[in-house]
Chain A
């Protein structure tokens, strides 16, 4: 149980285009999901908290208009990188909160490369 999927697993896009990444909790409902960004050989950096049915809460320094988050159902959150640029290239990982408040189950990540 507690499986989280992400789609796509990798994407290459041209500079200026927008990319949508999906995060799904497959066998449980998640009212809260989190989006992280990870650079090579570094730890995870929390970008935002996604709450079902309400606006996402962004961490300091993360541009809301750049990284659009939608959590329309209890099993799906999406992250859209708008007008992507090469500096947005990174590994994006989502997680879903489990029944225990502190527990998060992570997706396999999405590798974004912006040319």
Chain B
């Protein structure tokens, strides 16, 4: 059972376009994290959202945590080829500290 549904799983867009990646769950998380991973490397933490309704911005990336702390979204404005990579959302369970990962979104931004 996949507890965290991430969509879309693959996305190929042109440079300059906007995109949104979604992570949805029926479970409540104490926090939700977004990572970016390059091929052959480990995931790099982009942001952690903790409070329901929280919005965080990282340059052209906007992260939002749902009011009920069950879902999150990542919006990229004016995507660039350097944004290409695998984006992973991960929900944290406060009782175990474990991270539940979504399936990942492979983003390709064409110049």
Contacts and interface: CB of A to CB of B under 8 A. Distances in A.
Given A49-B98, A102-B30, A102-B97, A42 B41 contact: no
B25 interface: no
Interface in A60-106: 91, 93, 95, 97, 100-106
Nearest to B32: A102
Contact of B88 (A4, A44, A95): A44
Interface residues of A, number: 26
B103 A101 contact: no
Contacts of B94: 101-102
Contacts of A4: 42
Interface of A: 4, 6, 32, 34, 41-46, 49, 91, 93, 95, 97, 100-109, 111
